[in-house]
Structure 1
Amino acid sequence: MNYDAKIELGDDETALDALTHGDAQDRASRRRMWLILAAIVVVLIGIWFLLHRGNADEFDAAKQEQIPTVSVIQPGRASITGTITATGSLAARREMPVGSAGEGGSVAQVLVDAGAWVEQGQVLAVVDRSVQTQQIAGLASQIDVSAADARLAQANLDRALKLVDRGFISKADVDRLTATRDAAVARVGVARAQLGEMQARTRRLNIVAPAAGLVLERNVEPGQVVTAGSGVLFRIAKDGEMELRARLSEDDLAKLSIGQEAQITPVGLGRSFTGQIWQVAPTINATDRQGEARIALPYARELRPGGFASAEIASGALVAPMLPESAIMSDARGSFVYVVGPNDKVQRRSVRTGTVTAGGIAVIEGLSGTERVVLRAGGFLNEGDAVKARLVKHGG
């Protein structure tokens, strides 16, 4: 029995060992399973991280691609020769209207036309003088009659003076004959004066140029009856001189002085003419706040009164930043530019512009010249926008 009991005890230990060994195997299996699951989780987390990191990089790249690239310039400061630009109409500097100064009559001849150059005293038109010619002939004959009477009176006086010493003629007779002779001589003078007056009246029938110059208008034709009240028959530009009557603002007018030179370019011509300011208006038009500067021009066939022209007048120099027209914008708040700040963000900067030249516009307030100013496409930007600034040379 004891033997059998030992046998049973041995079986229980073996079973216990087997059970213990099985639990250990189960625990090892569970550990492996958890390790595998942990590895899978780690792998999945890595894959997720890699996938999302790639998306973030793509997002950042896309975001970078959306930031616009703009050209900017640093204008610096330059010495700028001031130029005032103005427009106006061409006209004769000294326009002389010419009319009939005589009694008038029917025009017999017109000797010049518009565009002709005439000299002082040159006959422009002739008025019929057939009546005046006959009157002149009659007065000339009257002079001959008066002269004959004067000669006869002188002869009678000479004979009387020879006879007075013999006592045939009294002193009173001599005095009477002397008076008769004097009256006859006076009548000769009167006749000659009347002839001179008629000749002067006849000469006034000729319409003549008061000075040398260019005929601008002809308003008379042969057969036309003219009088002193007929108005202007011819217009002449004295010495052919022209002028530009330029309209300028109060500010620009204050910068001008007599004697300044100006370059005048008429519309339709490919050349300019050098003129000189000879008069600056002493008053300003209350309606448009503008005044007039008159710029004298020498005679040139291309200059036509009534034509339109522009003028460029030098007005001194100033030191200021210079920007191209594309960089300056304006709205209801005034003129402004866009400046790229240190953080590559766009900032609005109000400016005041000055002289306009062929090289750009002077900025007299608002910029120091060291800023990065957006050169173009400013109209598509807003304040605070991020940009990529590409620095270019002035004028690039």
Structure 2
Amino acid sequence: MELPDMRQVLSLVLLAQLWTLPLPTTAAEITDLTVSQTSTPSYLVLDGTIEAVKAATVSAQTSGRIVKLNFDVNDLVPAGASLLEITSKEQGAELAAAEASYARAKALDVEAQQTLTRYQALFPQGAISKGAMDQAIANAKSTQQAASAALAQVTKARENLKYTVVAAPYAGVMTERHVEQGETVTIGQPLLSGYATDKMRVVMQVPQQYRQALVEAGSVQVTLADGREFSVNNAQIFGFSDRQSHAYKVRLPLPDNTPALLPGSWVKARFVVSQRPQLHIPTSALYSVNELTGVYLKVDDRYVLQQIRIGENSHDQVEVLAGLQNGDVIASNAYQVLLQRSGK
């Protein structure tokens, strides 16, 4: 038994596909399309994470026992709000003692300054000896310095008392609590951690072979998990690479006060690394049946079905990976070619 010719099989397949399509009453004229090559940017896509620009851990600046905790993890804290309170009896007593010492030193200084003023008036008349005058001058300077030192102690004690109420340095979210109510803390001990919500950035690692491409690109497209996109033009590239990965750390500042940005979230960042030639044709020029994808290539005065391999489809345009060359002429609408061949 003879095997059927492949051209006959292809014709039968085309006719079968044609009968499955809704046919119009009249066939439009076939228009030609010249395939032209365009230069398309090639992107490098990297993973990045969101981090807060301002993130800090508040530590104790005085010692004492925690008597009150006003916020917990995940709470939104206003700027300047009281985070926690530490016992202040000892600090208050130190402030009272420092103020008393300053009052005494101030009184002695006033007396010494008044004595010096009287001696300065009597000394030209010879009523005060040179030694008494020198002693009055030295005593006035000494009491003045003592008053200044006592005032410094008052300032120090007052600040130490303020440290018993730990305030938020900026508005943000509390991420960690290192102490519990009733716990005794010492100077320098971590208390609370948090970050500011108004300024965020994306951090990513760029392989060293693409560092110069990033510099030349000038712009990085950042895509969040929810689909939002940002164009960052002021990428901050570190001047040194990681010792293990040999990649460069890059920071991408995001617009201030952008809502719903969570530190630690994954994002996609892409930038142009090269330009490559591409062929694009409209999707209307495609003919697809089963595993076959092709176009009608114009050869002399007739159209020949040419199998092609396609890539991404975007905005009714499809990329041709193989099967066509720059300058080829194809039918812009494969459907009209089928109509003419069917005799309609």
1:276 equivalent in alignment to 2:232: yes
Deviations 1:30-51 (A, max 9, x none): xxxxxxxxxxxxxxxxxxxxxx
Following superposition, the deviation at residue 84 of structure 1 comes to 2.8
2:101 aligned residue: 142
- Per-residue deviation, 1:136: 1.0
CA contact under 8 A between 2:308 and 2:320: conserved in structure 1? no
Q: How does 1:1-396 map to 2 (within 5 A)?
A: 60=4, 64-65=8-9, 69=13, 76-77=35-36, 79=38, 81-82=40-41, 84=43, 86-100=45-59, 102-111=61-70, 114=74, 116=76, 118-119=78-79, 124-157=83-116, 170-210=129-169, 212=170, 214-215=172-173, 217-220=175-178, 221-231=180-190, 233-237=192-196, 240-246=198-204, 254-257=212-215, 259-266=218-225, 269=226, 271-277=227-233, 278-280=235-237, 293-298=250-255, 299-311=257-269, 313=271, 319-322=277-280, 358=314, 368-369=325-326, 391=334
Task: Count residues in correspondence.
Answer: 298
**Contact conserved, 1:90 with 1:242, CA < 8 A, in 2?**
no
After superposition, what is the alpha-carbon deviation per residue over 1:318-368, rounded to whole angstroms, capped at 9, x for unaligned? 5411489xx9xxxxxxxxx998999x999999x9x8xx6745775688852
**What SS does structure 1 have at the residue aligned with 2:214?**
coil
Task: Name the residue aligned to 2:28.
Answer: none
- Residues 222 and 186 of structure 1, relative CA distance in 2, 3 Å threshold: same
Segments of structure 1 that go 5 or more residues without pairing to the other structure are 1-54, 328-336, 374-389
Give CA deviations for 1:166-206 in whole Å, capped at 9, x if unaligned: 87653323333343333222221111122122233444455
Structure 1 Cα separation of the partners of residues 128 and 163 of structure 2: 52
Percent identity over the alignment is 18
Change (3 A) 1:158 1:345: closer
1:226 Cα offset (Å): 3.7
Deviation at 1:100, TM superposition (A): 1.7
SS of equivalent residue, structure 1 residue 99? strand
Q: Scaled by the length of structure 2, what TM-score is found?
A: 0.62
- Looking at structure 2, the residues matched to 281 and 160 of structure 1 have their Cα atoms a distance apart, in angstroms, of 69
Aligned partner letter, 1:116: L
Confirm or deny: 8 A CA contact 1:109 1:222 kept in the other structure: yes
**SS of equivalent to 1:304:** coil
- Choose between structure 1 and 2: higher strand proportion: 2
Distance 1:284 1:199, change over 3 A: closer
AA matched with 2:254: L
More helix by share: 1
- Cα shift at 1:308: 1.9
